[in-house]
Structure 1
């Protein structure tokens, strides 16, 4: 019995040390990495955010491969062997600052080199540069509205078919304090 007591004590000490390490009392902590990973998972497009692709009447719809992310709301695509530039409809992201950087990382992580569905909106023409303005989907999930939903983008002035849906998502992001609407840590503008 006396021989098993030190072994039992050692086993208990090892278990206790493991528990305390998991609570952040250990030598090193990956708290910043863990926080980033959790944020990425909760804002991922791979989690349902919209139901299906509902296209505006008389819209153009096609699949293309994203070849480059220029900024959070502008991307290059390849469709039928031709390169085109697409601007996301209904989203405005700050041109610099922490929210811009997060939006760039997010957009790249979701769309870079992915096959997407591009849907035009007859209420919205091309840009002055000739870029197609469109809603972009990965599977059934719209990237445009997701940027608004997670607070990385706001809904700009102007008319487009899905404006009311976007304004609802923006209001929810504001109420929840997501992204640019987080008043405790927001420094973008």
Structure 2
């Protein structure tokens, strides 16, 4: 792509400003001659041009389709020529074991719940910046339903105990967590045996 076309391309996205993705953006052409823009390098590390733009802007309200659900709070999506990973902001779900370690109780149920909420759905995003591992931090919505909040209401996610964005309103999340605990929904049925994912990671990861 010529420098002029790249300038036009990025100017167009700037006009449609909404959600900002930071990090490297790659440009490549697949075997069918279709050009792709993504913050994920091409399959099998094929030839690609790495664009030097520090910020890439998505149009407000754009719908994305689900590519993969990793666990109860992390997914991969695609849309508008991009493929990227989202960490559901403000929540934390039980952890899957890594490197042969055991799964935290209710980790599978949390993933199954998120899968059920998102199955055959498209989502929109409300972004809160970038987190670790080049993941977009976002609340995700199916129509008007806040999926992050639904995970807490189901008793399969707690409010994230680490540092949260100042723009993120955690109040409804804490209310939902309190109700789920009182009702002993999902993972809260464990009572005193419950371990926060935050503590679990420190112990096993």
TM-score, with structure 1 as normaliser: 0.61
More off after superposition, 106-115 vs 142-151: 106-115
More helix by percentage: 1
Work out whether residues 97 and 188 of structure 1, in 8 Å CA contact, stay in contact via their aligned partners in 2.
no
- 1:115 pairs with one of 100, 103, 122: 122
Larger Rg: 1
Please show how residues 1-189 of structure 1 align to structure 2 within 5 Å.
Answer: 60=19, 61=60, 62-95=62-95, 96-121=103-128, 125-157=129-161, 158-160=163-165, 161-183=168-190, 189=195
Larger relative CO (CA 8 A, sep 6+): 1 or 2? 1
Q: CA RMSD in A?
A: 2.1
The runs of at least 4 consecutive aligned structure 1 residues that moved more than 6 Å come to none
Shift of 1:130: 1.1
| Cα shift readout 1:94-135 (whole Å, capped 9, x = no counterpart) | 1123411111111112214421111113xxx31221111000
Residues in 2 aligned to 1:114 and 1:74: alpha-carbon distance in whole angstroms: 16
Work out whether residues 71 and 108 of structure 2, in 8 Å CA contact, stay in contact via their aligned partners in 1.
no
Residues in 2 aligned to 1:99 and 1:93: alpha-carbon distance in whole angstroms: 8
Aligned length: 128
More off after superposition, 78-87 vs 108-117: 108-117
More strand by percentage: 2
In structure 1, stretches of 5+ residues that fail to align are 1-57
